[in-house]
């Protein structure tokens, strides 16, 4: 078993507390088998609220169960019960812990914030909630822009990056 920590960093412009908009957010990860080191060709989706049975385990469940197409070994991953940590303006431009996942037989090696759905954030000065943040961009480039009426300031998020490390 391996516990992996996903950290993210972004450039926040007049906003804070960037996080998925709901507990049912679909995270899109790139996965690699620990046995044969085969990398799945597509990003896979994992949801905190969905659980599947792990074969061979007594009443064991996971948020993601995968059989490697190359070596046919079954692997699984489960979100830690601790909540996703919002990315705050205090961490602007620096990596900050986001979520932890327990993995058995696999490792996540990539994360795409554009595929999963809406995010949320709020204005630093006004507290204005922006509940439907979606990212656009080519390849690794991602951005979102809007305007905070209460603070009379432009707001935005750009240059989101992620990295995986052992927790």
Domain coordinates in residue numbering, the chain: 2-166
- Mean pLDDT of all residues in 132-151: 85
- pLDDT over 90 (residue 140): no
pLDDT tens digit sequence for 14-24: 999 999 999 89
8 Å CB contact between 165 and 8? no
pLDDT of 43: 95
Q: What is the DSSP string of 108-155?
A: EEEE-TTTS--EEEEETTT--EEEEE--B-STT--EEEEEETTTTEEE
User: Average model confidence (pLDDT) for the chain?
Assistant: 93
**Given this model, what pLDDT does residue 55 score?**
87
Which residue, among 136, 107, 132, 113, has the nearest Cα to 122 in the 3D structure? 132
Percent over 70 (pLDDT), the chain: 96
Tens digit of each residue's pLDDT (9 = 90 or more) over 145-164: 999 999 999 999 999 999 99
Lowest mean pLDDT among 61-75, 88-102, 125-139: 125-139
Whether 167 and 16 have beta carbons less than 8 Å apart is answered as no
Question: Residue 142's pLDDT is what?
Answer: 76
Q: Quick one: average pLDDT of 139-146?
A: 79
Question: Tokens 């979520």 correspond to what residue?
Answer: 99
Within 8 A by CB and 6+ apart from 8, the residues are 87, 95, 96, 98, 111, 113, 160, 161, 162
How many residues are listed for the chain in this entry?
167
């Amino acid at each position: 078993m391996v516990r992996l920590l996903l950290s993210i960093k972004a450039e926040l412009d007049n906003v804070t507390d960037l996080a998925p908009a709901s507990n049912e957010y679909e995270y899109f990860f790139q996965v690699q088998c620990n046995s044969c080191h085969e990398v799945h060709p597509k990003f896979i989706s994992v949801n905190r609220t969905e659980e599947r049975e792990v074969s061979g385990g007594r009443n064991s469940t996971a948020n993601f169960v995968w059989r490697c197409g190359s070596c046919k070994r079954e692997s699984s991953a489960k979100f830690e019960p601790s909540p996703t940590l919002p990315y705050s303006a205090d961490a602007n431009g620096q990596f900050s812990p986001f979520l932890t996942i327990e993995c058995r037989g696999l490792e996540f090696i990539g994360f795409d914030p554009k595929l999963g759905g809406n995010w949320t954030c709020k204005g630093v000065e006004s507290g204005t909630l922006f509940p439907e943040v979606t990212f656009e961009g080519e390849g690794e480039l991602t951005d979102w822009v809007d305007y905070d009426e209460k603070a009379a300031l432009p707001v935005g998020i750009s240059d989101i990056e992620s990295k995986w490390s052992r927790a």
